[in-house]
Amino acid sequence: MDTRSPPEISCVLCRKVVDLHADLCADENGKSVHEDCYVQDVAKKLPRIRK
Ligand SMILES: [Zn+2]
């Protein structure tokens, strides 16, 4: 087994490192993103649902 640190994965939306243990999420294309970034990205694509 490889016990070295895993390669850092960057969020494709904000370019910051994704913490695999905390906030890894994947978008519809399988890209690694933060859950919060994904939510915001989806929100931007959706029609306005707020008042
Ligand atoms: Zn992000």
pLDDT in tens, 14-42: 999 988 777 667 778 888 899 889 889 88
Confidence of residue 50 (pLDDT cuts 50, 70, 90): low
Residue 32 is assigned to a structural domain of this protein: yes
The answer to whether residue 17 sits within a structural domain is: yes
Position 13: which residue type? L
Q: Model pTM greater than 0.85? A: no
pLDDT of 46 strictly over 70: yes
For residue 2, report the distance from its CA to the centre of ligand 1, in Å. 27
Give 7 Cα–ligand 1 centroid separation in angstroms. 16
Distance 8 CA to ligand 1 centre (A): 13
The answer to whether 46 and 40 have CB atoms below 8 angstroms apart is: no
For 21-30, the CB contacts below 8 A with 24+ separation are none
Using the mean position of ligand 1's atoms as its centre, give its distance from the Cα of residue 19 in Å: 10
Q: Domain range for residue 16? A: 9-45
Does 40 reside within a domain? yes
pLDDT of residue 49 exceeding 70, the answer is no
pLDDT of residue 31: 86
Is 4 inside a domain boundary?
no
